[in-house]
Amino acid sequence: MPRTRNRLIAAARRSMLQRAELYRRLDVARAALRPGALVSRGKYRIDAAIDDAAHTVSTGFRNNRLPIALAATAGLVWLFRDPIKDHAPRLVQKIQDMVADIADHFRGPEDRVDEDDSEELEEDDEAVR
């Protein structure tokens, strides 16, 4: 009978070890499935995905600066196309007026044409016809 008794003792020992291992795994699973643990694991995975995406984008931008900058500019112009259509004529007129003022500022007094003189020249042109 000693063999049977030794087998029973060994089986009981294995059973206790297996039960302890199962309880340990259950505690690990219980801790992993707590809402706080799930949230922190989700945050970690999202942060890792964002970091990977940011690294990929920065590498891509570093390798292709000009095409991406042109595409971004074209995209912004397309987004703001309606306000540009509304305000562009007034902006162009203001720019032309500023350029004319700057050109008049740098012209000498003999090169400047007054508005009164231009009217007289127009009248003279009409008289010649």
Report pLDDT digits (tens) over 21-48: 999 999 999 999 999 999 999 999 999 9
Q: Per-residue pLDDT averaged across 58-79, rounded?
A: 92
CA dihedral 36, 40, 46, 50 (to 10 degrees): 150
The band of 78, judged by pLDDT with boundaries at 50, 70 and 90, is very high
Tokens of 80: 């703001």
Closest CA to 111 of 122, 99, 120, 103: 103
Residues 6+ apart with CB under 8 A from 38: 32
Q: At what angle do helices 35-63 and 2-32 cross, to 10 degrees?
A: 60
Collapsed DSSP state (helix, strand, coil) of residue 108: coil
Length of the chain: 129
pTM of the full structure = 0.39
